[in-house]
Chain A
Amino acid sequence: MNTATTANGHANPHGDGHYSGLMRWLTTTNHKDIGTMYLTFSLIMFFVGGAMILAVRAELFAPGLQLMQPEFFNQLIGIHALVMIFAALMPAATGFANWMIPLMIGAPDMALPRLNNWGFWLLPPAAILLTMPFFLALFGIGDGALATGWTFYAPLSVQGGMGVDFAILAVHILGISSIMGSINIIVTIFNMRAPGMTMMKLPLFAWGWLITAFLLLATLPVLAGAVTMLLTDRHFGTHFFDAAGGGDPILFQHLFWFFGHPEVYILLLPVWGLMPHVLATFSRKPTYGYTAQVYAFIAIGLLSVVVWAHHFFTAGLPVPALIYFMFSTMAISIPLAVLFFCWIATMWKGSMSFETPMLFAVGFIVLFGIAGLTGLILADVAADAQYHHSYFVVAHFHYALFAGGIMGVMTGVYYWLPKWTGHMYSEKLGKLHFWLTVISFNLTFMPQFFLGLAGMPRRIPDYALQFAEFNAISTVGAMILGFSQLLFAWNIWSCVRGGPKAEARVWEGAEGLEWELSSPPPHHSWETQPVIK
């Protein structure tokens, strides 16, 4: 077998008696194929979720209702969030893990390849469930998609139409898929590391993902429980969230955010794991503070499950609870500051060059810094009373999840794309994409901070006249931001199709097992595990 693959190697990637064409992708158990499918799915859903929010921003360009009615507006904002979180960001991170963790730790594949295949193929049905109510409504069936925002708050979600049921089932399926992915990653990292690779020699990307995987296992079942309780409240006469039957609507918020807050770190930890690799590569200097970063990941993971109530300070919690959740939330700034410190210290006195991945990494650090600092003041209960439910919060979490999450993913894509495809992408287009993204991102979301401070609530389809200017600017920014992403898709597509040949060690300063293999790596890699000294 060993000789067969080395002989056939890349030239005949599925020369091992497997299917070709569509059946190859349906039945594949290869971590690289599955990684590619995750990433492709994620890119498609990124555009689906993006199109939804461009429609929303178009409506918000000027006061008055121009393009849509409030019911439809409410559906778009909620499904935009669910699509971006569950169908764009999470699958992108899982795609990275599938592709890179075996290469980085010297494993021949993921530990549970069939589970891996199933985990991916659960995603398309879930995405269809999530968006189908939009299309059913066109045929007069039901009243459209989930219109409660992505948070499903009861009792609004108890009152909602069948879009809520579709979304609940979609969340169940997405949750099962993520749990499978997490189990696979944990088992792979614990059991399949190359001989000599101790846990404290594990690449930081794998460490970040390991913490993410544990957080998913800890919190997704709680979300599944919460939405199941919602389902039984809707259809089977229970009263978990109905005061008239002895329930409590705030119980739902506790359950939801027990998942929802760690979810933020679930999305960000893989990116934080990736950053030191990129910064070290382009600074041509070893990672600063490896051990400190590992402990920071663990600390953030632990803290993330004990701070959830800061998402609903205005719901009227008792004073001791307010003080506890405020201080525990502020405590997260310490491990996060460790990460920032290590990132900048990695760059310090390096020999830097600024290829596209490095540009995105630096952009990520600065903009994610804004998210972190505004997060610190949002933790303050008294000030939060003004920020909460306003556009200030919208701006804050887009700095965290677009600049932090999505730009982090773009960093990874540009960094590893030559490794995956064997071709260099266009550096010129990549840089153009970076500058357009960064400038239009700030044009979109910086005004939203001011809108929030001036008193504009989030999730409203129409607004008072004093909010008009900032909204118009934000919409212009969003349109540029949205359409610049076509450059990203085009750059990836052309890189897959061809381009200058990439070497095994694509970047001058790249260190690690993944760069020992050819670009693209053979279909089956590390059949003989390397030994780490």
Chain B
Amino acid sequence: MMRTLPHSRTFGSSCAAARRRSLRCLIPAGTALLPAIAEAEMRFNFPEPVTPIARETLHIHNEFMLIITLLFVVVFAIMIYSMIKHRKSVGHAAVKFTGPTGALQWFWALIPFAILLFIDFVLMGIPAVQAIISMEDTKTRADMVLKVTGMQWKWQYEYPEAGIKFISTMSTPRAQIANAEAKGEHYLLEVDKPVVLPVGKKVRILLTSTDVIHTWWVPQFGVKRDAIPGFLRETWVLIEKPGIYRGQCAELCGKDHGFMPVVVHAVPEPEYLAWLEQQKAEAVAAAGSADRAWSRDELVAEGRTVYDKVCVACHQAEGQGLPPVFPALAGSKIVNGPLLDMNGRIIPDSHVDRVFNGKAGTAMQAFRDTLSDVELAAVITYERNSFGNKLGDMIQPAQIKALRQEAK
């Protein structure tokens, strides 16, 4: 389990609570450094492994560290001995040899390389090959499939057998990042909706991405695999111990690369099945709610939640965006344009088109596949009636459903 160090917590909060500007924040932190080193529980190795692969990786790592430390010590002990004994200042006269002479010297000169060959290809090589084969064996006796889709800057999880999918985004408030609030225990490593997995089951994980390359990494699982747009990659986990496991995106994926954590709740199977049933029920309820008529206020309220989760990273809290890369929605020509054409179809390059189909070559992705009918209708309605945009119109979830079918 990832723990937060007591000292770092108080340091972070005292600093942030004072709402000092950055430089003033650095000075007390600098003076606090020495006691921090003394008190801190620094971690010098991998976190506790909870999957067979992570255990094997830790084992390999420890073995290698031992080998290379030994090599380092032996080689440099010889060098340091020479540096002490063979100095001009102690009157050592230089000898003149430039290579091995005679069979015995050749033997001693070649011994280190024989040892190194043995270390490389036997001592390290054989366990490594074993580990690769087990790491890549995703299919044998897999109990279930989890599909992970990376997108700027959140993860979507899908349980294909159960027909459930949802988006998981970081839940750390932006105010904590800006040092305006005290930082919480799981700062940057907490999400609104964690992925839930059963313990003791082999989970085959399929990975892909909708935009750029991301990397799904949970250190305690010993698993790190790239999510590549347009391709499927796979890996697997078999979690041996219930708990909450945290990780992060590991491949630079743009602005908020540092803010797309992975949180996995590993629970016993009955608990997992109960959770699955609950998710299914919620999905049915959500599908039902798409068919009823929503009022504009309802849509705007729901839309704000969706916006704050999905859109805010780029388009910002007040819809001001971060031009020129991330355009403003406030006063935007596209947002303030017509909703649909006279036949109720999508107008190319209109607001609905953008949200539905994204814009190629930018971070604006096609939300058609990631948001539900209600979420799409709500966020479109919200954007048209917020940030000073006063269109007064709305789009119903049922209309979105119809547009979706038309697109098929």
Contacts and interface: CB of A to CB of B under 8 A. Distances in A.
Contacts, number: 337
A507 B207 CA distance: 61
A159 B361 contact: yes
A244 B249 CA distance: 23
B83 A155 contact: no
Contacts of B196: none
A287 B128 contact: no
A66 B25 contact: yes
B282 to A, nearest CB: 30
Interface stretch (B175-183, B331-339, B344-352, B372-380): B175-183
B96 A62 contact: no
Given A288-B97, A462-B259, A383 B57 contact: yes
Contact of A383 (B64, B89, B125): B64
Interface string B314-336: 00000000101100000000000
Contacts of B188: 63, 462-464
A465 B183 contact: yes
A65 B5 CA distance: 20
A48 interface: no
A465 B9 contact: yes
Interface in B95-124: 95-99, 109, 112-113, 116-117, 120-121, 124
B76 interface: yes
Nearest to A476: B33
Interface string B51-76: 00100110011001100100110011
A352 interface: yes
Majority-rule SS of A interface residues: helix
B268 interface: no
Interface in A441-478: 450, 453-455, 457-466, 468-470, 472-473, 476
A386 B248 contact: no
Interface residues of B, number: 117
Contact of A244 (B121, B219, B224, B230): B230
A359 to B, nearest CB: 11
Interface residues of A, number: 104
A209 to B, nearest CB: 22
B324 A143 contact: yes
Nearest to B2: A466
Nearest to A142: B324
Q: Which 7 A-B pairs have the closest CB atoms?
A: A243-B230, A382-B131, A460-B258, A66-B22, A455-B219, A389-B250, A316-B233
Interface stretch (A179-187, A297-305, A365-373): A365-373
Contact of A469 (B40, B253, B254): B40
B223 A316 contact: no
24 contacts: A62-B25, A65-B178, A70-B257, A74-B252, A153-B251, A156-B212, A243-B231, A248-B230, A248-B231, A285-B96, A286-B96, A333-B120, A334-B113, A380-B64, A380-B131, A383-B131, A385-B57, A389-B215, A455-B248, A462-B188, A463-B258, A464-B189, A465-B185, A469-B42
Given A156-B212, A351-B86, A377-B68, A64 B179 contact: yes
B284 interface: no
B183 to A, nearest CB: 6
Interface in B224-273: 224-226, 228-231, 233-234, 246-259
A319 interface: yes
Secondary structure of the B side of the interface?
mixed
A337 B68 contact: no
A314 interface: yes
B93 interface: yes
Contacts of A285: 94-96
Contacts of B64: 376-377, 380, 383
Interface string B161-198: 00000000000000011110001011111000000000
Contact of A61 (B26, B230, B363): B26
Interface string B212-224: 1101010100111
Interface of A: 58, 61-67, 70-71, 74, 142-143, 147-149, 153, 155-156, 158-159, 161, 234, 242-244, 248-250, 283-292, 312, 314-316, 319, 322-323, 326-327, 330-331, 333-334, 337-338, 340-341, 344, 347-354, 362, 365-366, 369-370, 373-374, 376-377, 380-383, 385-386, 388-390, 450, 453-455, 457-466, 468-470, 472-473, 476, 509
Given A349-B92, A465-B9, A161 B324 contact: yes
B121 A327 contact: yes
